[in-house]
A and B are shown apart, each in its own frame.
Chain A
Amino acid sequence: GNSVTQMEGPVTLSEEAFLTINCTYTATGYPSLFWYVQYPGEGLQLLLKATKADDKGSNKGFEATYRKETTSFHLEKGSVQVSDSAVYFCALSGAGNKLTFGGGTRVLVKP
C-alpha cells in the first residue's frame, strides 16, 4: 500500500534560517504530492502541491519538487519567520483520491 515518511520533529530554528523537511513516499502509479500546514489551534491548510514528476510546487516562500527517481518531495524555505511555526504534513493521493499522510513535523521558529 501507499505510505509517506517524513522526518520527525520537532525542528527548532532561528528566524531567517533555512528550513528543509524531508519527505519520501511509496506508491503505486503516479500519485499527486502535497504539503499541508497546521498552525497552532487551526485547521489543515493546503500549502503546495505537485501533480507529476519534476513539477515544483511553491507558495508563501516554500518550495518542493516532485522527484520520481528518489520518490521524494522535500519541503524547503530559504528564510523562515516566527509565523512559520506549525506542524507540516506531507501527503500523497492514491486510488479514489484518498490522501495518505506522513506523521507530521513540528517546526518551531525562535526570534
Chain B
Amino acid sequence: SAVISQKPSRDICQRGTSLTIQCQVDSQVTMMFWYRQQPGQSLTLIATANQGSEATYESGFVIDKFPISRPNLTFSTLTVSNMSPEDSSIYLCSFWTSGSREQYFGPGTRLTVT
C-alpha cells in the first residue's frame, strides 16, 4: 500500500504567524483530505484537496485561514494562517484508495501555538 508522510512532525509557533504543513504520498492518488484533531477530541474534516482546482472546504473552515495547495497527484500542503492558541491541534492528511475503498492517514503534525 502507499506510504504517506508529513512534515513537520511537530512545531511550536508564535501567535499571528503562519505554518505550512506538507503531505507526500509515494504513489499517485486522486483524493486527498486534511483533518484537524483538537486536543482530546475526534477528527474533523477541514477540506478536500483537489488536484488542479481549489480545495473544497467544510462548514466552519475558510480558505483565508487554511489555504491548501495540490500541485500534483502525490503532494499537498495546508497552511494555518494568522495562528492563535485555538489552532493548537494535530493536523492530518489522508488519501482515499478507490480500489480498496479505504482511507489512510499520515502520521500527523502536532502544532502548538503560544
Contact = CB atoms under 8 A, between A and B. Distances in A.
Contacts, number: 50
Given A89-B42, A101-B42, A101-B43, A43 B108 contact: yes
A29 to B, nearest CB: 14
A46 B107 contact: no
Indicate the size class of the contact surface on chain B: 20 to 34
A102 B32 CA distance: 20
B92 A44 contact: yes
A18 to B, nearest CB: 25
Interface string A67-98: 00000000000000000000001000100111
A98 B106 contact: no
A96 B55 CA distance: 13
Interface of B: 31, 33, 35, 41-45, 48, 56, 58, 92, 94, 96, 101-108
Given A36-B105, A99-B33, A99-B103, 4 more contacts: A34-B102, A46-B102, A46-B104, A93-B103
19 contacts: A34-B102, A34-B103, A36-B105, A43-B92, A43-B105, A43-B106, A43-B108, A45-B105, A49-B101, A49-B102, A51-B101, A89-B43, A93-B101, A96-B31, A98-B33, A98-B45, A99-B43, A99-B103, A102-B42
